[in-house]
Amino acid sequence: MIIEGTHSIAAAPAHVFDRLMEPAVLQQAIPGCDKLEKTGEDEYVAHLKLGIGSIKGSYSGKVSLSDRQPPHKFTLHMEGKGGPGFVKGTSAIELTADGRATKLHYSANVQVGGLIAAVGSRMIEAAAKKLAGEFFHKFGAIVADAGKQAR
């Protein structure tokens, strides 16, 4: 399943890119994230509690980055599993300047299996877009707040 979206973040691309590389910032912004820990160069482990519809559960997984071209783009690879099933995917992230802001576009190819797949691709896609919206709203607020503190 392909999931795409574009979000505007009120900061320069270099600042946004740098914040996207900080596990502590991401842990605060990712919905349901209990832990995001760096385990190596561009490699992380994550623990999340998420639900789609009536199917809720905990997931453990790995995240890695590749094709880093700061501050313009990178590729995120993820895989996780838990009681409700598994998720695996790759997302291309592109950042472009938009005046004093950054336009972030993502295109993710995601596969799910287990109980979570039973809710159907339409509901999974809607939930993924909702979670992405929550992430970017919170991430944008964190980035804006950090910018105010730096002044």
Q: How many CB atoms lie within 10 A of CB 80?
A: 20
Q: Name the residue among 113, 116, 4 with its Cα closest to residue 54.
A: 116
Cα–Cα distances (Å) from 125 to 24, 112, 138, 140, in that order, read 26, 11, 20, 22
- Indicate whether this model's pTM tops 0.85: yes
How much is the average pLDDT of 111-117? Answer: 89
**Triad 4, 9, 13: Cα angle to 5°:** 95
How much is the average pLDDT of 26-38? Answer: 94
Instruction: Considering only residues 98 and 148, tell me which one the structure prediction assigns the higher pLDDT.
Output: 98
pLDDT over 70 percentage in the chain:
96
Give me 118's structure tokens: 């039973």
Number of domains comprising the chain: 1
- The alpha helices in the chain, defined as continuous H runs, are 13-20, 23-29, 121-150
Per the document, the length of the chain is 151
| Structural domain span for residue 39 | 2-150
Q: What is the CATH number of the domain that holds 97?
A: 3.30.530.20
Per-residue pLDDT tens over the stretch 69-90? 999 999 999 999 998 899 999 9
Confidence of residue 151 (pLDDT cuts 50, 70, 90): very low
Report whether pLDDT(126) > 80. yes
Report whether pLDDT(105) > 50. yes
